[in-house]
Amino acid sequence: MNKPFLGVTSSFTGRPWVDRLDEAARAQALAIVQEHGVPDIVARILAARGVASSETPGFLEPKLRDLMPDPSTLVDMDRAAARIADAIAANKLIGIFGDYDVDGACSSALLSSFLEQCGVQSLIHIPDRLTEGYGPNNEAIRMLAEKGIGLLVTVDCGTTSHEPIAEASRLGLDTIVLDHHQAPETLPDAFAIVNPNRLDDLSGLGHLCAAGVVFMTIVAINRELRRRGFWKGKTEPDLMGALDLVALATIADVVPLKGLNRAFVRQGLQIMRSRSRVGLRALADSARLDGPLSPYHLGFMIGPRINAGGRIGDAALGARLLTTQDEIEAARIAETLDRLNRERQVAEAAMVEEAEAQILARSGLGEEIAEGVLVTSSDEWHPGIVGLVASRLKERFRRPVFALARNAEGMLVGSGRSVPGADLGRAVRAAVEDGLALKGGGHAMAAGVTIAPDRIDDFRAALENALQEQVRDALADTGLAVDAAVTARGANPDLLAAIERAGPFGSSHPEPVFVLPSHQVIEAQEVGQNHMRVKLRAGDGAHIGGIAFRSADQPLGKALKEAKGGMPIHVAGALTVDRWGGGERVQIRIADAAQATKS
């Protein structure tokens, strides 16, 4: 472990603070400064995240033309592009079956909008989370067939849908799968399956979200149409204009921000600045965002509103919002999603409170949590929200968590979230193979499962046994990694502009954490839903505002209240721009705080 930052070995949340840069990284940062002339803070951020000096120019300016590979490197891409081009040339109605999350909505909208620009109609079907579940199902495929589709394309789903794809074949439909989820050894009998996570795919693009795969497919289709002379006398679509949706999906699906994904997000954010997509503009307005959208906005404000439809409302709202050209309809859908998101927040808070009580009751109030993996359940919980509950509990207890709800068939269905180093998806697949779960799967950091109510204890024990060593190692490495110290006076727009050069930040490229050393809390009040808003003052009299989300009833929020007017403390978090009420002010999004000990 790197040395403690400012000597903090136990913060108000019980964490040590560690310097993200070790000696080798400091040397690398110096080389970046000397060889490329970038500001020291940018060099520190890059070096701490493993960016070599030779990689710096391309990393700071990721361009699609440099990072976009030939789509044909993906297995089945040429076959898929040719088949969709055939349907376009024949003016066939195309069915699009998507997932009910942000990635699914963006993927569906990407393909549908491209087809519309080609003069071809499409039907989008997003399954209802509660009545249909994830992925294609026979009833929905029969419905699309009855409406006259000539080709079925699944996006962000379909890689494991053996029976539904067989049903499509029985109905005389070819199916093309555009997906990114982990693939089994035996694939469905589809016409083409484009998925960089196929076991036989060597493209190295497994970090793409589904929208990234769909974008590459659109590029391949357009190239095939051009080769056939389809665009002679016509105006080709502006494919770059679709990168706003790819950026949104890439951030919301929390895929690694490396390589091609960085270019997608960087250029997609630039396109968003024009506010040209009617649906995104309406959603930003409903969320009261009046400045340029950032990855934080996409991940924590725009994404959750689109997801709210799939969680507790109409799952198709997101895709409809992202495809509509009607300002009035867009405003109506955006307002509906905003309302559903507020309802989701209220339900989520109640579920989290009940789940925390369950966990503490199992361990004994006031005692340290003994279990390495936490499994909670309730017959009263909404199945569409359990994944968010698991995420909140993971943040609170810093270990893998499953939250389960009872579905209409009486089974327990739910979602799990993990911590780095503990492969939850693998443990769930093993539980399915051992007969402890009816079905399930996922990734290392997130998984879904369906189990019989009488097997919950067996399921819990199996996860505990499978992950106990990984969780123990993860719990031993809970330090908050800090990039640098800065004062309230130094936290200005020029500093943020320099930091943004090293972005966008997200999965695998974490947002920088800064410490405001020895700042006094002069204001502290609870706002919104359990948030703490503070004002901090440095020794030279400079001020900076701060917000600690979902902390008012937690150790961090309580400590901030108690520190008001008292001795200075160290405050750690991410620097952001606060545009509330007009104007622009730098503030800190507080992640932790600690006593300011004398060194």
Bond prior to 57 in cis (omega within 30° of 0)? no
- The token pair at 64 is 């699609």
**Among the three residues 475, 506, 533, which one is the final residue of a domain in this structure?**
475
**CA dihedral for 568, 569, 570, 575, sign (positive or negative):** negative
Angle at 226 between CA 220 and CA 229, to 5 degrees: 145
**Among the three residues 475, 492, 516, which one is the final residue of a domain in this structure?**
475
462 shares a domain with 516:
no
- At 237, which amino acid appears? P
**Among the three residues 412, 441, 475, which one is the final residue of a domain in this structure?**
475
332 shares a domain with 217:
yes
Whole-number Cα distances in Å, 261 to 47, 246, 562? 20, 9, 43
Across-strand partners of 570? 594
H or E stretch including 96?
strand 94-97
Domain of 205?
70-337
- Residue range 248-265: average pLDDT? 94
| Reported confidence tier of residue 581, pLDDT bands at 50, 70, 90 | low
Alpha-carbon span 418 to 412, nearest angstrom: 19
Q: What is the count of structural domains for the chain?
A: 3
The residues, ordered by sequence, that sit 6+ positions from 102 with a Cβ below 8 Å of its Cβ are 248, 249, 252, 253, 303, 306, 307, 318
Give the model confidence (pLDDT) of 366-397 as tens digits.
446 778 899 999 999 999 999 999 999 998 88
51: in domain: no
- Residue range 574-595: average pLDDT? 87
Give the model confidence (pLDDT) of 176-193 as tens digits.
999 999 888 899 999 999
pLDDT, residue 582, reads 64
Q: What is the mean pLDDT of the chain?
A: 93
272: in domain: yes
504 shares a domain with 463:
no
Whole-number Cα distances in Å, 495 to 41, 484, 502, 504? 8, 12, 12, 15
How large a percentage of the chain has pLDDT more than 90?
82
Indicate the SS3 state at residue 222: helix
pLDDT, residue 368, reads 62
Give the model confidence (pLDDT) of 52-96 as tens digits.
999 999 999 999 999 999 999 999 999 999 999 999 999 999 999
| pLDDT surpassing 70 at residue 322 | yes
Alpha-carbon span 8 to 14, nearest angstrom: 10
Q: Is 541 exposed, middle or buried (0-12, 13-18, 19+ CB in 10 A)?
A: exposed
Instruction: Tell me the CA end-to-end span of the chain in Å, nearest whole number.
Output: 20
For the chain, give the number of residues: 599
| pLDDT surpassing 70 at residue 543 | yes
310 shares a domain with 165:
yes
**Bridging pattern class, strands 175-178 and 151-155:** parallel
315 shares a domain with 439:
no
| Reported confidence tier of residue 475, pLDDT bands at 50, 70, 90 | confident
Give me the helices (H) in 192-259, please.
210-227, 243-252
- Residue range 462-490: average pLDDT? 90
